Amino acid sequence: MAYSEIVQNLRAAFDSGKTRNVGFREKQLQNLMRMYEENHTEMARALASDLRKHKQEAYVMEIDYLMNDLRSIILNLRDWVQPKKPEKTIVNMMDGVFIYNDPYGVALVIGAWNYPLQLTLAPVAAAIAAGNCVVIKPSEVSPACSKFIANTVPKYLDQDCYRVVEGGVKETTELLQQKFDYIFFTGANRIGKIIHKACSENLTPCTLELGGKSPCYIDSSADIAIATRRILWGKFINAGQTCIAPDYILCSKDIQEQFLKEAKSILKEWYGENPKHSPDLCRIINQQHFKRLSGLLKGANVAIGGDVDSADNYIAPTILTNVKSEDPVMQDEIFGPILPILVVENANDAIKFINARDKPLALYIFSTNEAVRNLIIANTSAGGMCINDVLGHFAVESLPFGGVGPSGMGAYHGKYGFDTFTHKKSCLIKDFNAVGEKLASSRYPPYSDGKLSFLSTVLKKRRSISLKCVPYLFIFGLGVASTLIVNCLRDDNK
């Protein structure tokens, strides 16, 4: 079926009002949950096929994550969809003031390959919850997961409202020529620009979940043994192909030595004498990325690791020292199991280094010194931060997850995902009450200084008076109303 026809059909389904029904959305979300329950083994198998992902990583980082996220959406949906009643001021005291949660319409979700199930299906769940119809485009770079989504989703989700389209650059380019009401993209910064450009053609709102070089600063107050363990886990999980993996370390020479000493023994404990034989290490997704990553090692000062095997897309967990900011490894997001360490004197130097570069997706600090932490938090910008650990902030569903500037725009997770796919439709409801009309009549021509002064006073005061003052305002309103009525009667009698 042509893409234009797919989008047209989804629009017709949306216009029928089907997805506005909350019961329908709940049913679809429950079906998605059933899909995970009945197919988790196949999901783990697809992840192993694409990335040689170990079962533990597959469940913790993707399958269980998706199920927990969905459970929370289903539990909270009835609450989230309720129109919100924001605080009112004196001006609208007598009116209804509401924010309705309106679905956008037909959304396009474009997934990435590194966590190919989680990064495609979590936004889809949020889009369904918000009442949208969805075109789902998994990444072609992880073919087993793409196939799984394409074959399995239609068995569980309503085909009039949710469609999977497989394909790569050609297909996505063609899809982007269609008019969507929302586009949610996860992927590289370079492609994010293409998506943003396509969105601008139709003024389509979008979320861009991009990447970047996420720095990790360690100071001498940190527990270096624990810090090293946490950093290495966050770096080498999924073979470093994680958007919020610590990209590089900033620390003093002394900390670098302690870090290397710890790292040597931890890596041996985790992956054995030859990490290549460990079942716990993922592989690089394809030859193109393997070549890019092994190229970064040429001429680099390898302190730990450095082994590569092209036939197996294998790169050992590798740590580089004597790294300069001009080195190739410091130019773009690494997105692989290579961890450079750059020496800085102190937190102020680290801040200067970070601020001289693109705003990162994540920023990590290892320090027990609150002054140092606050200094960095207050003087840097990043999509999100995690102190004394890495990746952890991603899993806190009450925190919005997203980038800033070059690392992305918009956010999701938990309620933020629902909000991302929801237009907040403002609505003011007035009645035809005669007293209210009289009070508001100062806005009508003929204008006069008296009316202007009255309106200015009311508008000036409206911010400083909250609804907590309602009883007093009511008495005040009655006073004003009766004065106005008396004046009117006087005018009428003249």
| Residue 209 annotated as catalytic | yes
Q: What is the largest CA-CA distance in the chain?
A: 103
Stretch that binds ligand NAD, among 66-74, 169-177, 305-313, 485-493 (CB under 6 A): 169-177
Q: Which of 57, 209, 262, 333 is catalytic?
A: 209
Residue 209, interface with ligand NAD (CB under 6 A)? yes
Alpha carbon distance 352, 337 (integer Å):
26
Residue 414, interface with ligand NAD (CB under 6 A)? no
Residue 119, interface with ligand NAD (CB under 6 A)? yes
- The sign of the dihedral angle between the CA atoms of 271, 277, 280, 286 is positive
Tell me whether residue 260 is exposed, middle or buried, using C-beta atoms within 10 angstroms of its C-beta: 0 to 12, 13 to 18, 19 or more.
middle
Residue 411, interface with ligand NAD (CB under 6 A)? no
Bridge-based pairing of strands 384-387 and 248-251 is unpaired
Tell me whether residue 370 is exposed, middle or buried, using C-beta atoms within 10 angstroms of its C-beta: 0 to 12, 13 to 18, 19 or more.
exposed
Residue 420, interface with ligand NAD (CB under 6 A)? no
Query: Which residue number, 119 or 344, has a Cβ lying nearer to ligand NAD?
Result: 119
- Looking at this protein, which amino acid is placed at residue 346? N
Residue 478, interface with ligand NAD (CB under 6 A)? no
- Residues 437-466 binding ligand NAD (CB under 6 A) are none
Q: How far is the CB of 120 from ligand NAD (least distance, A)?
A: 8
Q: Which of 133, 243, 251, 386 is catalytic?
A: 243
Residue 169, interface with ligand NAD (CB under 6 A)? yes
| Residue 243 annotated as catalytic | yes
422 phi and psi angles, rounded to 5 deg: -120, 130
Alpha carbon distance 219, 251 (integer Å):
6
Q: Which of 140, 158, 174, 280 binds ligand NAD (CB under 6 A)?
A: 140
Residue 114, interface with ligand NAD (CB under 6 A)? yes
Q: Do the beta carbons of residue 359 and residue 382 sit within 8 Å?
A: yes
Q: Which of 186, 294, 313, 422 binds ligand NAD (CB under 6 A)?
A: 186
Q: Which of 366, 414, 471 minimizes the C-alpha distance to 77? A: 414
Residue 396, interface with ligand NAD (CB under 6 A)? no
Alpha carbon distance 466, 450 (integer Å):
25
Alpha carbon distance 42, 220 (integer Å):
46
Per-residue binder mask for ligand NAD (CB under 6 A), 71-110, x = binder? ---------------------------------------x
Both structure tokens of 94:
């007598």
Residue 408, interface with ligand NAD (CB under 6 A)? yes
- Looking at this protein, which amino acid is placed at residue 49? S
Both structure tokens of 447:
């204008």
Stretch that binds ligand NAD, among 34-42, 185-193, 256-264, 417-425 (CB under 6 A): 185-193
Between the CA of residue 101 and those of 228, 251, 397, what are the distances in Å?
A: 44, 46, 20
Q: What is the DSSP string of 52-95?
A: ---HHHHIIIIIHHHHHHHHHHHHHHHHHHSPB-----GGGTTS
- Residues 346-385 binding ligand NAD (CB under 6 A) are 361
Q: How far is the CB of 212 from ligand NAD (least distance, A)?
A: 7
Residue 296, interface with ligand NAD (CB under 6 A)? no
Both structure tokens of 253:
């020479």
Helix axes 22-51, 64-81, angle to 10 degrees: 160
Residue 191, interface with ligand NAD (CB under 6 A)? yes
Q: Which of 90, 93, 108, 112 binds ligand NAD (CB under 6 A)?
A: 112
Residue 118, interface with ligand NAD (CB under 6 A)? no
Query: Which residue number, 103 or 111, has a Cβ lying nearer to ligand NAD?
Result: 111
Residue 139, interface with ligand NAD (CB under 6 A)? yes
Residues making up the chain, counted from first to last: 494
- Residues 310-349 binding ligand NAD (CB under 6 A) are 333, 335
Q: How many residues at the interface with ligand NAD, by CB under 6 A?
A: 28
Q: Tell me the catalytic residues.
A: 209, 243
Q: Which residues bind ligand NAD (CB under 6 A)?
A: 110-114, 119, 137, 139-141, 168-169, 172-173, 186-188, 191, 194, 209-211, 243, 333, 335, 361, 403, 408
